[in-house]
Structure 1
Amino acid sequence: MSDHSTTGTVFKHKMNDVQKNEGEPVAKPAGKTSARRADLRERLVAVGRAAIAEGGLQHLKARDLAAAAGCAVGAIYNVFDDLDGLILRIGADTLARLEQGLAAPPGPVPAPAEELLRLSQGYLAFARANKALWRALFEHRLADGRAAPAWYLDDQSRLFTLVEAPLAHLLPDEPAPSRALLARTLFSAVHGVVLLGLEEKLTPMPEATLDAELERLVRAFAGGLTQRSLG
């Protein structure tokens, strides 16, 4: 999940007025306007997510979004800077759902190689079940070469920490920055296999074959790290 996979700009935030009460600043409670804006924001995220899930990013049109959310087209830009901002929030929701799906189940912690395999299989399962939303994470480009906002990069980084944990057991003496880079290398390899397999870009790839090839890749990767650690 590199920078170019992300989309949009940060939400605009409207600051509440501040009153003085016995020398202390007190923020006014959010009024009906703030509540309406929050409700519209959630509706737009919901209809935007549904639009992408149905037809991909190209299915996301301002007029269609406004009609589905029951608002004027201009109202979209009262709660988002632009459509990139909306897509970012949809992407953040997709990342959160992926993170939830990859969370470790209760019980004993598996061996590092098995944990890496579990994460990879979970990633493949999520991509299969949410293909359009998953692809949107990587297909959209920020306008004018803008960088992804920090909060979105933080969402991405939490996913990589899931990979870094078993790598820390396989390579206990590896410096943290090197281990973080290795996690991204493994992700790139897994993502490539998943993408090419699901799109069948190179050859027809039945589900069982893709599952087996992904396992082969991860076990070879983990086995190589184990040998390196022992050496």
Structure 2
Amino acid sequence: MTTTAARRERQRIQLIDAAERAIAEKGLAGLKARELAQEIGCALGAIYNLVQDMDELVLRVGSRTLARLDAALSVAAPQAPSSPAEAADALVAVALAYAAFARDYLRLWRVLFEHRMAEGSTVPDWAVSEQMTMFRHILGPLGVLLPDGSEAERVLLSRTLFSAVHGVVLVGLEEKLIAVPRRELDHEIEKLVRLVSSGLVANQKR
């Protein structure tokens, strides 16, 4: 890498760092291009030599958030389950780790779902791929709970289960609505996941 390219890459990382701090402190509304330029010591227009647009910058921050989330979920359920009971435990562990991550990185986590691309733009393939990677933490256990199901069925179910848990977490952490104490929220999440898991096992036995 040439000196110029290395300097540009360092500045690009500084920009993403600054954007991440801004979002963590103020949410997506706190992300201002002019303030970011001042923080990293460049002209406003120079930002767009480092990223294509503000959408890409938000996605780059989101990429870091997803990497942290992936690591947290991997720690929660590090081994592949070999029985329905282990699969249910793994899904519970993953769901609770997801809720804990949302609490710990609340504003960064929210941006993963609040951000909308500018009209006429689409989410790039690399970002979609990173988002889809998260579902492997659900698909693995579902393969044990739904051994006779097709891949398409398991993929659909993984998205449904994620949506259900995500919805519980989202509402439970929303202080303007009905913020739920951590212990009670975790209990409800576990109950939901175990009900789904037991239902899948029961259906397999029919």
User: Normalised by the shorter chain, which TM-score bucket?
Assistant: over 0.9
Match of residue 64 from structure 2: 93
| Mapping for residues 181-200 of structure 1, pairs under 5 Å | 181-200=156-175
Of 96-105 and 73-82, the range deviating more from structure 2? 96-105
Q: Which runs of 4+ in 1 moved over 6 A?
A: none
Match of residue 128 from structure 1: 103
CA deviation map 1:23-72 (0-9, x unaligned): xxxxxxx3111111101110000010000000000000011101111211
Q: Which amino acid aligns with 1:218?
A: V
Match of residue 146 from structure 1: 121
CA deviation map 1:125-176 (0-9, x unaligned): 0000000000000111000142211111110111001100000000111111
- Cα RMSD (Å) of the superposition? 1.5
Tell me if the contact between 2:76 and 2:94 (Cα under 8 Å) persists in the aligned partners: no
Unaligned runs of 5+ in 1: 1-29
Aligned residues: 202
Q: Give the alignment partner of residue 154 of structure 2, picking from 179, 195, 198.
A: 179
Q: CA 1:149/1:204 → structure 2, altered by over 3 Å: closer, same or farther?
A: closer
Match of residue 102 from structure 1: 73
Q: CA 1:226/1:201 → structure 2, altered by over 3 Å: closer, same or farther?
A: farther
Match of residue 21 from structure 2: 50
Of 111-120 and 192-201, the range deviating more from structure 2? 192-201
Distance 2:66 2:120 in 1: 22
Pair member with larger Rg: 1
Q: CA 1:127/1:204 → structure 2, altered by over 3 Å: closer, same or farther?
A: closer
Q: Which amino acid aligns with 1:57?
A: L
Match of residue 90 from structure 2: 115
Match of residue 229 from structure 1: 204
Match of residue 39 from structure 1: 10
Q: CA 1:101/1:108 → structure 2, altered by over 3 Å: closer, same or farther?
A: closer
Unaligned runs of 5+ in 2: none
Tell me if the contact between 2:77 and 2:90 (Cα under 8 Å) persists in the aligned partners: no
CA deviation map 1:186-228 (0-9, x unaligned): 0000000000000046534111111111111111111111111
Distance 2:2 2:49 in 1: 16
TM-score normalised per structure 1: 0.84
Matched, 1:161 2:136: yes
Distance 1:173 1:201 in 2: 43
Larger fraction in helix = 2
Q: Which amino acid aligns with 2:141?
A: P
| Identity score, percent | 48
Q: CA 1:178/1:123 → structure 2, altered by over 3 Å: closer, same or farther?
A: same
Match of residue 214 from structure 1: 189
Match of residue 20 from structure 1: none
CA deviation map 1:6-25 (0-9, x unaligned): xxxxxxxxxxxxxxxxxxxx
TM-score normalised per structure 2: 0.93
